[in-house]
Amino acid sequence: MFIRSIKVRSSTGSVHEYVRIVASVRENGRVKQRVVANLGRRDTLEAVLPMLQRFLRGEDDQQQLAKELSQDGPIHALEASTWGPMLVTRYLFEQLGLWQVLDAGRRWPRLLPEEDPNDDWPSRVLALLANRLVRPGSEHALAAWLETDYVCDRHGRRYVPCWKQTGRVQVDLAQLQRWYRTLDHLLLNKADIEVSLYQRLRNLFDFQPDLVLYDLTSTYFTGHGPSTLAKHGYSRDGKPRNVQVVVGVVMVAGWPIAHHVWAGNTRDSKTVKEVIEDLAKRFSFRRVVFVGDRGMVTESNLETLQAAEGEWGFLVGMTRRQNPEAETLIDRVQEDRWIDCGMGINAREKKEPNRPRTRVQEVTCDREGVRVFIVDSDERRAYEERMRTKAMDRVRVGLEKVQTRVAKRRLCQPEKIGAAVERVLQRNHGFRYYAWELRDGQLHFFEHPTNLPREKKYEGKYLIQTDQTEMTPNDAVAHYKELNEVERGFRSLKDPIGMRPIWHRVERRVRAHIFVAALAFLLERMLERALRTAGVPLSARDAWTALETIRHVRIQVGNEVRAGTTPGSPRARQVLHALKLKEHHPPTPPTADETTM
């Protein structure tokens, strides 16, 4: 008899390996293998194998435990700390070669007299990344996390919180200073770290930098923040009253390779030149297409792309409103020239005839060397129609209130009536939908004869421009839609990974805080890819949650203390299997030096 295994794909797309016992038999003069017994899934067998062995030997758990411990005596559980997230973060950290990169980095030169110049700051970076991935918080809140999770340095020494009340601060200031100084060391090496990680990613996943995706977001401060960065600007968080900082992320082949930080009042278009020059200088990009949203488009930026060293192209959006060229281009659309685009997952799940479609066609552009594609999306049109209807209802209600005030002579002077109407129209973009006049002492408003038809004409359509002569219309749409991947990355950065809100008041610490979030985002992307490759139907968020079931346990038997790790839940074991991670125990710390601050 022999042991054989087969791999079977389930209805959810995940692949499971099943173990069988087979025997060789002869039928009609030919040798065949006959299944004697199906033993079940391999991952389940691995988990129950020790119990199965004890069962076959006729031993119960207590007898086996006493046998393994080789002594009698009472058994006491001392501690069970969460270990799984730190285990996987450590593994991904090693996969990226971050130990070598950080060990070769520079240290912050201006240390306080009481600081250790040889502090193992790369191990602290690892701890900060693990914290950012599972329980993001401030360096002050980090101490509480150290109590529940088993977090250790590269030598296995556990980080333990040092509680000491100083005013409102409950953590020893010396311990806080070590974490703050880690941020300083990290930021000092940001440029070299990003380049080293990019090279490592190319070696691991073998991709070419054909497309550079770039987009911006903002994140707000709790408190004042540093005056050099914390400014009021367009808030993508819906927090216009908070000062903020602007963050730009560059992605290649789905991987975040660099990020930039600007003051909160920086306009999108002002960031492009710096990013392009940085990519050409640090990453030596020579033949690449820059993909950006419509907010990036200015004549100056397009000239910068064309003048950059190497062969730089562009694929960028165009603004629709307050852009006479856009209206002219949309007017050139011919209904018989639409080309259907590939559907997304949501569209494919819907049945005909309610299945939304996306269409594209190229129109003639008057600018030399520039091609323009008009994209028409049913889903986008439905969304924009809903938003317009909602906005028009709100504006109409506001205008009716002003109209009532005028009719009741509570508002009589023309200049005051005009000011009240202007205030209503400024909210919800009312100028796009309504016009008004004062006639015979009464206020009359009506749908704008020019602006409203223009708005309806724009709905569902967006414009893409490029200088790439070989790119097809469908390729242009597909590449432009990849910017959604950057936006998805922003959601991970700001919500689960916790880039917001920012509490720091020193500029370099703000930049370092964002750098930690960006590195954590990269580790999460690596986990996502491993899960997808292994066919494990878990999101990264679900995976981190499942990993929390893996515990580092300490028990006392008589006078001796033993340590070990639990296997975790079935989903946690799936994650470890996807990563091919076989060593689940933390490093053994040096004798008499098991903890550190």
- The domain boundary, picked from 52, 73, 89, lies at 52
Expressed as residue numbers, the domain containing 154 is: 81-189+532-554+569-596
Question: Which string of b and e fits 52-85 if b means at least 16 CB within 10 Å?
Answer: eebeeeeeeeeeeeeeeeeeeeeeeeeeebbbbb
Residue 253 main-chain phi, psi, to 5 deg: 55, 35
Q: What are phi and psi of 366, to 5 degrees?
A: -75, -15
Is residue 57, in this structure, part of any structural domain at all? no
CATH code for the domain in which residue 223 is found: 3.90.350.10
Q: Please indicate, yes or no, whether residues 310 and 324 belong to a single structural domain of this protein.
A: no
Asked if residue 391 is part of any domain, the answer here is yes
260 domain residue, yes or no: yes
Q: Count CB-CB contacts under 10 A for residue 15.
A: 11
Same domain? 542 vs 587: yes
Structural domain ending residue among the three candidates 417, 447, 469: 469
What number of CA atoms fall less than 13 Å from residue 477's CA on the CB side?
20
Which amino acid is residue 231, in one-letter code? K
Please check whether residues 343 and 425 belong to one and the same domain: yes
Same domain (yes/no): 107, 167: yes
d(CA 500, CA 218): 9
Same domain, 31 and 91: no
In a domain, 563, yes or no: no
What 166-173 contacts at long range (C-beta under 8 Å, 24+ apart), as own/partner pairs, is: 169/140, 170/140, 170/143, 171/140, 171/143, 172/597
Last residue of a domain, one of 442, 469, 496: 469
Distance between CA atoms of residues 445 and 434, nearest Å: 7
> Same domain for 294 and 341?
no
Contact 289, 266 (CB under 8 A): no
- Three-state secondary-structure class, residue 56: helix
The per-residue DSSP string of 536-570 comes to: ----HHHHHHHHTT-EEEEEEETTEEEEEE----H
Same domain, 347 and 461: yes
Distance (Å, rounded) from C-alpha 585 to C-alpha 137? 26
Q: Kindly state whether residue 513 falls inside one of the protein's structural domains.
A: no
Q: Where do runs of H (alpha helix) occur along 261-413? A: 272-282, 299-307, 324-331, 345-349, 378-407
- List, for residues 434-469, the tens digit of each pLDDT value: 999 999 889 999 999 999 999 999 999 999 999 888
Q: What's the domain count of the chain? A: 4
Is 508 contained in some domain? Answer: no
Same domain, 43 and 121: no
Task: Note whether residue 185 is domain-resident.
Answer: yes
Which DSSP state fits 156? S
CB 86 within 8 A of CB 572: no
pLDDT recorded at residue 292: 83
Express each pLDDT in 184-207 by its tens digit.
Answer: 999 999 999 999 999 999 999 888
**Low pLDDT (below 50) residues in the chain:** 72, 345, 348-349, 496
Whether residue 452 sits in one domain with residue 328: yes
Q: pLDDT value at position 498? A: 59
* pLDDT score of 234: 87
**Span 356-396, pLDDT tens digits:** 889 999 999 998 889 999 999 999 999 999 999 999 999 99
Provide the token pair at 160: 């333990």
Same domain? For 150 and 98 the reply is yes
Q: How many residues does the chain have?
A: 597
Same domain, yes or no, for 296 and 335? no
Q: Are residues 311 and 439 in the same domain?
A: no
Residue 421 lies in a domain: yes
